[in-house]
Chains A and B, each alone.
Chain A
Protein backbone atom coordinates (compact mmCIF):
# COMPACT_ATOMS: atom_id res chain seq x y z
CA UNK A 1 0.00 0.00 0.00
CA UNK A 2 1.38 3.41 -0.90
CA UNK A 3 1.90 6.10 1.72
CA UNK A 4 -1.15 8.36 2.03
CA UNK A 5 -0.77 11.70 0.29
CA UNK A 6 -1.32 15.16 1.73
CA UNK A 7 -4.90 15.44 0.55
CA UNK A 8 -6.08 11.86 1.12
CA UNK A 9 -7.52 12.87 4.50
CA UNK A 10 -10.34 14.60 2.64
CA UNK A 11 -11.71 11.37 1.12
CA UNK A 12 -13.87 10.52 4.18
CA UNK A 13 -15.03 14.17 4.29
CA UNK A 14 -16.17 13.98 0.68
CA UNK A 15 -17.99 10.72 1.42
CA UNK A 16 -19.79 12.34 4.36
CA UNK A 17 -20.74 15.39 2.31
CA UNK A 18 -22.05 13.20 -0.51
CA UNK A 19 -24.08 11.11 1.94
CA UNK A 20 -25.62 14.28 3.37
CA UNK A 21 -26.33 15.66 -0.11
CA UNK A 22 -27.99 12.37 -1.12
CA UNK A 23 -30.64 12.95 1.53
CA UNK A 24 -31.88 15.89 -0.52
CA UNK A 25 -31.44 18.37 2.30
CA UNK A 26 -27.98 18.87 3.77
CA UNK A 27 -28.30 20.01 7.41
CA UNK A 28 -24.91 21.74 7.17
CA UNK A 29 -25.75 23.55 3.96
CA UNK A 30 -29.18 25.02 4.55
CA UNK A 31 -29.46 28.57 3.21
CA UNK A 32 -31.73 31.32 4.49
CA UNK A 33 -32.62 33.13 1.28
CA UNK A 34 -34.16 36.18 2.87
CA UNK A 35 -34.97 37.45 6.34
CA UNK A 36 -38.37 38.95 7.09
CA UNK A 37 -37.72 39.58 10.79
CA UNK A 38 -35.42 38.24 13.55
CA UNK A 39 -37.68 35.17 13.79
CA UNK A 40 -38.96 34.67 10.26
CA UNK A 41 -36.98 33.80 7.12
CA UNK A 42 -37.42 32.36 3.65
CA UNK A 43 -35.94 28.86 3.36
CA UNK A 44 -36.52 26.77 0.22
CA UNK A 45 -38.87 29.50 -0.95
CA UNK A 46 -41.14 29.12 2.10
CA UNK A 47 -41.74 31.29 5.15
CA UNK A 48 -40.03 29.54 8.03
CA UNK A 49 -40.07 30.29 11.75
CA UNK A 50 -36.47 30.50 12.92
CA UNK A 51 -36.14 28.53 16.15
CA UNK A 52 -32.42 27.89 16.16
CA UNK A 53 -30.60 31.20 15.70
CA UNK A 54 -29.30 32.21 19.19
CA UNK A 55 -30.90 35.58 18.46
CA UNK A 56 -32.04 35.62 22.08
CA UNK A 57 -33.21 39.22 22.33
CA UNK A 58 -34.22 39.56 18.67
CA UNK A 59 -32.23 42.78 18.22
CA UNK A 60 -30.89 42.07 14.71
CA UNK A 61 -33.61 44.19 13.08
CA UNK A 62 -33.98 46.72 15.88
CA UNK A 63 -34.41 50.15 14.22
CA UNK A 64 -32.06 51.92 16.66
CA UNK A 65 -29.33 49.29 16.17
CA UNK A 66 -29.66 49.57 12.39
CA UNK A 67 -29.55 53.38 12.57
CA UNK A 68 -26.44 53.27 14.76
CA UNK A 69 -24.73 50.97 12.27
CA UNK A 70 -25.60 53.23 9.32
CA UNK A 71 -24.36 56.30 11.15
CA UNK A 72 -21.04 54.61 11.93
CA UNK A 73 -20.68 53.56 8.29
CA UNK A 74 -21.07 57.21 7.28
CA UNK A 75 -18.73 58.56 9.95
CA UNK A 76 -16.02 55.89 10.20
CA UNK A 77 -16.22 54.01 6.89
CA UNK A 78 -16.61 50.33 6.08
CA UNK A 79 -13.61 48.86 7.89
CA UNK A 80 -10.66 49.68 10.12
CA UNK A 81 -8.02 48.10 7.82
CA UNK A 82 -5.78 47.39 10.77
CA UNK A 83 -5.04 45.90 14.17
CA UNK A 84 -5.99 47.44 17.51
CA UNK A 85 -2.21 47.61 18.06
CA UNK A 86 -1.70 49.85 15.04
CA UNK A 87 -4.21 52.04 13.18
CA UNK A 88 -7.32 49.99 14.01
CA UNK A 89 -8.21 51.42 17.44
CA UNK A 90 -11.07 53.86 16.94
CA UNK A 91 -12.93 55.86 19.57
CA UNK A 92 -15.79 53.41 19.06
CA UNK A 93 -13.72 50.41 20.19
CA UNK A 94 -12.54 52.20 23.31
CA UNK A 95 -16.07 53.33 24.12
CA UNK A 96 -17.39 49.77 23.80
CA UNK A 97 -14.64 48.47 26.08
CA UNK A 98 -15.50 51.07 28.71
CA UNK A 99 -19.22 50.35 28.37
CA UNK A 100 -18.72 46.58 28.72
CA UNK A 101 -16.61 47.10 31.87
CA UNK A 102 -19.23 49.49 33.29
CA UNK A 103 -22.08 47.11 32.42
CA UNK A 104 -20.34 44.35 34.38
CA UNK A 105 -19.19 46.67 37.17
CA UNK A 106 -15.59 45.56 36.53
CA UNK A 107 -12.48 47.70 36.25
CA UNK A 108 -11.28 46.49 32.85
CA UNK A 109 -12.81 45.55 29.51
CA UNK A 110 -11.31 44.33 26.28
CA UNK A 111 -13.00 43.54 22.97
CA UNK A 112 -11.96 41.11 20.24
CA UNK A 113 -13.01 40.79 16.60
CA UNK A 114 -15.04 37.62 17.22
CA UNK A 115 -16.16 35.50 20.17
CA UNK A 116 -13.88 32.74 18.94
CA UNK A 117 -10.95 35.17 18.94
CA UNK A 118 -11.83 36.31 22.48
CA UNK A 119 -11.52 32.77 23.83
CA UNK A 120 -8.44 32.00 21.77
CA UNK A 121 -6.93 35.35 22.74
CA UNK A 122 -7.62 35.16 26.46
CA UNK A 123 -6.65 31.54 27.05
CA UNK A 124 -3.52 31.58 24.90
CA UNK A 125 -2.36 34.69 26.78
CA UNK A 126 -3.35 33.70 30.32
CA UNK A 127 -1.86 30.22 30.08
CA UNK A 128 1.57 28.99 29.11
CA UNK A 129 3.93 26.04 29.43
CA UNK A 130 4.02 24.81 33.03
CA UNK A 131 0.47 26.00 33.74
CA UNK A 132 -2.52 23.70 33.99
CA UNK A 133 -6.05 24.19 32.73
CA UNK A 134 -9.09 22.30 34.00
CA UNK A 135 -11.62 22.31 31.21
CA UNK A 136 -15.23 21.16 31.41
CA UNK A 137 -15.68 18.23 29.02
CA UNK A 138 -18.61 19.97 27.27
CA UNK A 139 -16.83 23.32 26.84
CA UNK A 140 -17.07 25.02 23.43
CA UNK A 141 -14.46 24.33 20.75
CA UNK A 142 -13.11 27.90 21.02
CA UNK A 143 -12.23 27.34 24.70
CA UNK A 144 -10.59 24.05 23.87
CA UNK A 145 -8.65 25.56 20.97
CA UNK A 146 -7.44 28.46 23.14
CA UNK A 147 -6.15 25.98 25.71
CA UNK A 148 -4.38 23.97 23.00
CA UNK A 149 -2.77 27.11 21.62
CA UNK A 150 -1.41 28.07 25.06
CA UNK A 151 0.88 25.07 25.53
CA UNK A 152 -0.49 24.49 29.05
CA UNK A 153 -1.31 21.01 30.32
CA UNK A 154 -5.01 20.37 29.68
CA UNK A 155 -7.09 18.21 32.00
CA UNK A 156 -10.72 17.68 31.09
CA UNK A 157 -13.24 16.93 33.82
CA UNK A 158 -16.68 15.37 33.50
CA UNK A 159 -19.30 17.98 32.61
CA UNK A 160 -20.43 20.05 35.64
CA UNK A 161 -18.95 17.42 37.97
CA UNK A 162 -17.38 19.28 40.91
CA UNK A 163 -16.06 16.04 42.48
CA UNK A 164 -14.17 15.30 39.25
CA UNK A 165 -12.88 18.89 39.23
CA UNK A 166 -11.69 18.60 42.83
CA UNK A 167 -9.91 15.29 42.27
CA UNK A 168 -7.96 16.88 39.41
CA UNK A 169 -7.09 19.97 41.45
CA UNK A 170 -5.92 17.74 44.29
CA UNK A 171 -3.71 15.68 41.98
CA UNK A 172 -2.05 18.82 40.67
CA UNK A 173 -0.47 19.45 44.09
CA UNK A 174 1.53 22.68 44.08
CA UNK A 175 0.71 23.22 40.40
CA UNK A 176 -2.92 24.01 41.36
CA UNK A 177 -1.75 27.57 42.08
CA UNK A 178 -0.91 27.79 38.38
CA UNK A 179 -4.26 26.34 37.31
CA UNK A 180 -7.19 27.95 35.52
CA UNK A 181 -10.67 26.44 35.69
CA UNK A 182 -12.53 27.04 32.41
CA UNK A 183 -16.32 26.63 32.21
CA UNK A 184 -19.36 28.09 30.49
CA UNK A 185 -22.20 29.82 32.35
CA UNK A 186 -25.03 28.42 30.24
CA UNK A 187 -24.22 25.35 28.15
CA UNK A 188 -25.66 26.09 24.76
CA UNK A 189 -26.78 22.64 23.67
CA UNK A 190 -28.63 21.19 26.65
CA UNK A 191 -29.44 24.45 28.43
CA UNK A 192 -27.91 23.52 31.78
CA UNK A 193 -25.84 25.93 33.87
CA UNK A 194 -22.52 25.53 35.70
CA UNK A 195 -22.57 25.07 39.52
CA UNK A 196 -20.36 28.13 39.91
CA UNK A 197 -20.61 28.55 43.71
CA UNK A 198 -19.20 25.06 44.32
CA UNK A 199 -16.48 25.58 41.72
CA UNK A 200 -15.52 28.87 43.38
CA UNK A 201 -15.13 27.11 46.75
CA UNK A 202 -12.68 24.72 45.09
CA UNK A 203 -10.92 27.58 43.34
CA UNK A 204 -10.25 29.26 46.69
CA UNK A 205 -9.28 26.02 48.43
CA UNK A 206 -6.64 25.22 45.82
CA UNK A 207 -5.48 28.74 44.93
CA UNK A 208 -6.61 28.40 41.30
CA UNK A 209 -8.30 30.91 38.95
CA UNK A 210 -11.68 30.82 37.19
CA UNK A 211 -12.74 31.91 33.70
CA UNK A 212 -16.44 31.78 32.80
CA UNK A 213 -17.77 32.04 29.24
CA UNK A 214 -21.16 33.81 29.30
CA UNK A 215 -21.60 33.66 25.49
CA UNK A 216 -25.16 32.32 25.64
CA UNK A 217 -26.20 33.93 28.93
CA UNK A 218 -25.30 37.60 28.30
CA UNK A 219 -28.52 39.61 28.22
CA UNK A 220 -30.59 36.61 29.29
CA UNK A 221 -29.53 35.50 32.82
CA UNK A 222 -29.13 37.63 35.94
CA UNK A 223 -31.06 40.62 37.29
CA UNK A 224 -29.45 43.03 34.81
CA UNK A 225 -28.49 40.49 32.12
CA UNK A 226 -24.84 39.98 33.04
CA UNK A 227 -25.16 36.21 32.88
CA UNK A 228 -25.18 33.08 35.00
CA UNK A 229 -22.58 34.32 37.53
CA UNK A 230 -24.86 37.27 38.28
CA UNK A 231 -27.91 34.99 38.51
CA UNK A 232 -26.02 32.83 41.03
CA UNK A 233 -24.70 35.85 42.96
CA UNK A 234 -21.01 34.93 42.54
CA UNK A 235 -19.66 37.56 40.15
CA UNK A 236 -17.00 38.87 42.55
CA UNK A 237 -15.30 35.47 42.59
CA UNK A 238 -15.05 35.04 38.82
CA UNK A 239 -11.57 36.13 37.73
CA UNK A 240 -12.26 36.53 34.02
CA UNK A 241 -15.61 36.74 32.22
CA UNK A 242 -15.63 36.21 28.45
CA UNK A 243 -18.45 36.24 25.94
CA UNK A 244 -19.64 37.16 22.50
CA UNK A 245 -21.61 39.93 20.79
CA UNK A 246 -22.93 37.51 18.17
CA UNK A 247 -25.92 36.15 20.07
CA UNK A 248 -28.03 38.39 22.32
CA UNK A 249 -26.40 41.55 20.92
CA UNK A 250 -26.99 40.50 17.30
CA UNK A 251 -23.57 41.54 15.97
CA UNK A 252 -20.13 39.88 15.92
CA UNK A 253 -17.20 40.25 18.29
CA UNK A 254 -16.11 39.03 21.69
CA UNK A 255 -15.10 40.47 25.05
CA UNK A 256 -13.40 39.91 28.35
CA UNK A 257 -14.11 41.88 31.53
CA UNK A 258 -12.19 41.56 34.77
CA UNK A 259 -11.09 43.36 37.92
CA UNK A 260 -7.68 41.77 37.55
CA UNK A 261 -4.94 44.25 36.54
CA UNK A 262 -3.45 41.75 34.06
CA UNK A 263 -6.31 42.27 31.61
CA UNK A 264 -4.90 45.54 30.20
CA UNK A 265 -1.53 43.76 29.82
CA UNK A 266 -3.07 41.03 27.70
CA UNK A 267 -3.37 43.59 24.90
CA UNK A 268 0.40 43.29 24.58
CA UNK A 269 0.63 39.51 24.64
CA UNK A 270 -2.48 38.08 22.98
CA UNK A 271 -1.74 37.08 19.40
CA UNK A 272 -5.41 36.67 18.36
CA UNK A 273 -5.95 40.24 19.60
CA UNK A 274 -2.87 41.72 17.92
CA UNK A 275 -2.62 39.92 14.60
CA UNK A 276 -6.06 40.57 13.18
CA UNK A 277 -8.01 43.58 12.00
CA UNK A 278 -10.25 45.17 14.61
CA UNK A 279 -14.04 44.95 14.34
CA UNK A 280 -15.69 47.09 11.65
CA UNK A 281 -17.12 50.42 12.87
CA UNK A 282 -20.72 49.55 12.00
CA UNK A 283 -20.46 46.28 13.93
CA UNK A 284 -19.11 48.05 17.00
CA UNK A 285 -21.85 50.68 16.76
CA UNK A 286 -24.71 48.16 16.57
CA UNK A 287 -23.15 46.27 19.48
CA UNK A 288 -23.07 49.43 21.63
CA UNK A 289 -26.71 50.22 20.86
CA UNK A 290 -27.74 46.61 21.59
CA UNK A 291 -25.89 46.76 24.91
CA UNK A 292 -27.73 49.98 25.73
CA UNK A 293 -31.01 48.17 25.09
CA UNK A 294 -30.00 45.28 27.36
CA UNK A 295 -29.44 47.90 30.08
CA UNK A 296 -32.60 49.88 29.47
CA UNK A 297 -35.17 47.33 28.27
CA UNK A 298 -35.55 44.64 30.96
CA UNK A 299 -38.80 43.69 29.23
CA UNK A 300 -36.67 41.88 26.62
CA UNK A 301 -35.62 39.43 29.34
CA UNK A 302 -39.19 39.13 30.61
CA UNK A 303 -40.31 38.25 27.09
CA UNK A 304 -37.64 35.65 26.32
CA UNK A 305 -38.26 33.91 29.65
CA UNK A 306 -42.02 33.87 29.03
CA UNK A 307 -41.37 32.20 25.67
CA UNK A 308 -38.79 29.81 27.16
CA UNK A 309 -41.12 28.78 29.98
CA UNK A 310 -44.05 28.25 27.61
CA UNK A 311 -42.02 26.08 25.24
CA UNK A 312 -40.50 24.06 28.08
CA UNK A 313 -43.92 23.42 29.64
CA UNK A 314 -45.37 22.30 26.29
CA UNK A 315 -42.42 19.96 25.58
CA UNK A 316 -42.75 18.48 29.07
CA UNK A 317 -46.46 17.99 28.59
CA UNK A 318 -45.70 16.05 25.41
CA UNK A 319 -43.16 14.01 27.43
CA UNK A 320 -40.42 14.67 24.87
CA UNK A 321 -36.97 13.44 25.90
CA UNK A 322 -35.35 16.71 26.97
CA UNK A 323 -31.66 17.35 27.56
CA UNK A 324 -32.20 19.33 30.73
CA UNK A 325 -34.70 19.40 33.60
CA UNK A 326 -35.02 23.18 33.97
CA UNK A 327 -36.48 25.74 31.53
CA UNK A 328 -33.91 27.66 29.50
CA UNK A 329 -33.84 29.66 26.25
CA UNK A 330 -32.23 26.59 24.67
CA UNK A 331 -33.97 23.25 24.73
CA UNK A 332 -32.65 19.99 23.32
CA UNK A 333 -34.86 17.05 22.36
CA UNK A 334 -32.88 13.81 22.48
CA UNK A 335 -33.22 10.84 20.13
CA UNK A 336 -31.74 7.38 20.55
CA UNK A 337 -31.31 7.01 16.79
CA UNK A 338 -29.48 9.40 14.48
CA UNK A 339 -31.94 8.67 11.65
CA UNK A 340 -34.93 9.63 13.80
CA UNK A 341 -33.38 12.98 14.69
CA UNK A 342 -32.59 13.64 11.04
CA UNK A 343 -36.09 12.68 9.88
CA UNK A 344 -37.68 14.94 12.51
CA UNK A 345 -35.40 17.84 11.55
CA UNK A 346 -36.50 17.38 7.91
CA UNK A 347 -40.15 17.13 8.93
CA UNK A 348 -39.91 20.35 10.95
CA UNK A 349 -38.37 22.22 8.00
CA UNK A 350 -41.27 21.02 5.84
CA UNK A 351 -43.66 22.17 8.56
CA UNK A 352 -42.04 25.61 8.44
CA UNK A 353 -39.85 25.50 11.55
CA UNK A 354 -36.06 25.69 11.51
CA UNK A 355 -34.20 23.99 14.40
CA UNK A 356 -30.58 22.87 14.86
CA UNK A 357 -29.78 19.22 14.16
CA UNK A 358 -26.85 17.80 16.12
CA UNK A 359 -25.53 14.29 15.61
CA UNK A 360 -22.29 12.59 16.68
CA UNK A 361 -19.49 13.58 16.68
CA UNK A 362 -20.72 17.20 16.84
CA UNK A 363 -22.98 16.73 19.89
CA UNK A 364 -21.44 17.04 23.36
CA UNK A 365 -22.22 13.56 24.69
CA UNK A 366 -22.49 11.57 21.49
CA UNK A 367 -26.29 11.69 21.33
CA UNK A 368 -28.49 12.83 18.44
CA UNK A 369 -30.70 15.79 19.14
CA UNK A 370 -32.73 18.71 17.90
CA UNK A 371 -31.86 22.00 19.53
CA UNK A 372 -34.32 24.87 19.78
CA UNK A 373 -33.42 28.39 20.83
CA UNK A 374 -36.17 30.87 21.61
CA UNK A 375 -36.08 34.62 21.18
CA UNK A 376 -37.72 37.56 22.89
CA UNK A 377 -38.86 38.42 19.36
CA UNK A 378 -40.89 35.23 18.90
CA UNK A 379 -44.53 36.23 19.08
CA UNK A 380 -46.80 34.09 21.30
CA UNK A 381 -48.39 32.84 18.04
CA UNK A 382 -44.99 31.76 16.68
CA UNK A 383 -44.24 29.89 19.92
CA UNK A 384 -47.57 28.04 19.53
CA UNK A 385 -46.70 27.25 15.90
CA UNK A 386 -43.36 25.76 17.01
CA UNK A 387 -45.20 23.67 19.63
CA UNK A 388 -47.77 22.51 17.05
CA UNK A 389 -45.01 21.49 14.61
CA UNK A 390 -43.28 19.44 17.32
CA UNK A 391 -46.60 17.81 18.24
CA UNK A 392 -47.14 16.86 14.60
CA UNK A 393 -43.61 15.81 13.62
CA UNK A 394 -41.61 14.85 16.72
CA UNK A 395 -44.19 13.57 19.21
CA UNK A 396 -45.28 10.50 17.17
CA UNK A 397 -41.65 9.46 16.64
CA UNK A 398 -40.82 9.73 20.33
CA UNK A 399 -44.04 7.94 21.34
CA UNK A 400 -43.32 5.07 18.95
CA UNK A 401 -39.81 4.77 20.37
CA UNK A 402 -41.10 4.79 23.96
CA UNK A 403 -43.61 2.03 23.11
CA UNK A 404 -40.91 -0.05 21.40
CA UNK A 405 -38.69 0.27 24.47
CA UNK A 406 -41.43 -0.64 26.96
CA UNK A 407 -42.51 -3.61 24.79
CA UNK A 408 -38.93 -4.94 24.62
Chain B
Protein backbone atom coordinates (compact mmCIF):
# COMPACT_ATOMS: atom_id res chain seq x y z
CA UNK B 1 0.00 0.00 0.00
CA UNK B 2 1.59 3.25 -1.14
CA UNK B 3 0.65 6.26 1.01
CA UNK B 4 -0.15 9.63 -0.52
CA UNK B 5 3.13 11.11 0.75
CA UNK B 6 5.02 8.20 -0.80
CA UNK B 7 3.17 8.72 -4.08
CA UNK B 8 4.04 12.44 -4.10
CA UNK B 9 7.70 11.65 -3.41
CA UNK B 10 7.78 8.99 -6.14
CA UNK B 11 6.43 11.51 -8.66
CA UNK B 12 8.95 14.16 -7.58
CA UNK B 13 11.88 11.72 -7.63
CA UNK B 14 10.81 10.34 -11.01
CA UNK B 15 11.77 13.67 -12.56
CA UNK B 16 15.39 13.04 -11.52
CA UNK B 17 15.51 9.57 -13.12
CA UNK B 18 16.44 9.97 -16.75
CA UNK B 19 17.75 6.51 -17.59
CA UNK B 20 14.47 4.60 -17.38
CA UNK B 21 15.27 2.75 -14.15
CA UNK B 22 12.24 1.55 -12.23
CA UNK B 23 11.51 3.29 -9.00
CA UNK B 24 9.78 1.78 -5.95
CA UNK B 25 9.29 2.98 -2.40
CA UNK B 26 12.16 0.78 -1.21
CA UNK B 27 14.65 1.45 -4.05
CA UNK B 28 17.99 2.71 -2.68
CA UNK B 29 18.73 6.24 -3.95
CA UNK B 30 22.41 5.56 -4.60
CA UNK B 31 22.85 1.81 -5.26
CA UNK B 32 19.43 1.33 -6.89
CA UNK B 33 19.02 4.57 -8.79
CA UNK B 34 22.64 5.56 -9.35
CA UNK B 35 21.99 9.08 -8.10
CA UNK B 36 24.95 11.22 -7.11
CA UNK B 37 24.81 12.67 -3.60
CA UNK B 38 24.28 16.13 -5.07
CA UNK B 39 21.17 14.92 -6.92
CA UNK B 40 19.81 13.42 -3.70
CA UNK B 41 20.42 16.77 -1.94
CA UNK B 42 18.57 18.62 -4.71
CA UNK B 43 15.64 16.20 -4.46
CA UNK B 44 15.53 16.59 -0.67
CA UNK B 45 15.50 20.40 -0.97
CA UNK B 46 12.54 20.14 -3.35
CA UNK B 47 10.77 17.89 -0.85
CA UNK B 48 11.45 20.35 1.98
CA UNK B 49 9.96 23.17 -0.08
CA UNK B 50 6.95 21.12 -1.21
CA UNK B 51 6.01 20.11 2.35
CA UNK B 52 7.37 23.25 4.09
CA UNK B 53 9.60 21.27 6.45
CA UNK B 54 13.32 21.23 7.27
CA UNK B 55 15.20 17.96 7.62
CA UNK B 56 18.54 18.06 9.42
CA UNK B 57 21.53 16.23 7.94
CA UNK B 58 21.80 13.66 10.73
CA UNK B 59 18.24 12.54 10.10
CA UNK B 60 18.89 12.48 6.36
CA UNK B 61 22.03 10.39 6.68
CA UNK B 62 19.91 7.34 7.56
CA UNK B 63 17.52 7.80 4.65
CA UNK B 64 18.10 5.58 1.64
CA UNK B 65 14.68 5.27 0.00
CA UNK B 66 11.32 6.94 -0.60
CA UNK B 67 9.78 4.85 2.20
CA UNK B 68 12.32 6.17 4.71
CA UNK B 69 11.97 9.75 3.54
CA UNK B 70 8.16 9.54 3.56
CA UNK B 71 8.21 8.47 7.21
CA UNK B 72 10.26 11.56 8.11
CA UNK B 73 8.07 13.85 6.01
CA UNK B 74 4.95 12.43 7.68
CA UNK B 75 6.44 13.03 11.13
CA UNK B 76 7.69 16.58 10.45
CA UNK B 77 4.61 17.66 8.50
CA UNK B 78 2.42 16.13 11.24
CA UNK B 79 4.35 18.01 13.95
CA UNK B 80 3.66 21.27 12.15
CA UNK B 81 -0.06 20.64 11.66
Contact = CB atoms under 8 A, between A and B. Distances in A.
A366 B41 CA distance: 11
Interface residues of A, number: 17
Nearest to A364: B38
B17 interface: no
Contact of B39 (A153, A172, A366): A366
B45 A153 contact: no
Contact of B45 (A137, A154, A171, A172): A137
A31 interface: no
Point out which of A153, A154, A156, A167 has the most chain B C-beta atoms below 10 A from its C-beta.
Answer: A156
Interface in A123-167: 132, 137, 148, 153-156, 158, 164, 167
A366 B57 CA distance: 19
A361 B45 contact: no
Contact of A366 (B38, B53, B54): B38
Contacts of B49: 164, 167
A168 interface: yes
Given A365-B38, A366-B38, A153 B58 contact: yes
Given A154-B56, A154-B58, A164 B38 contact: no
Nearest to B44: A156
A211 B68 CA distance: 33
A128 B57 CA distance: 15
A156 B55 CA distance: 9
B57 A154 contact: yes
Nearest to A161: B45
Contact of B52 (A148, A171, A360): A171
B37 interface: yes
B72 to A, nearest CB: 13
Contacts of A365: 38
A366 B45 CA distance: 15
Nearest to A163: B49
B36 interface: yes
Contacts of B54: 155, 167-168, 171-172
B41 A137 contact: yes
Contacts of B57: 148, 153-156
The 6 closest A-B pairs by CB, nearest first: A153-B56, A154-B57, A366-B38, A171-B54, A168-B54, A155-B54
B58 to A, nearest CB: 7
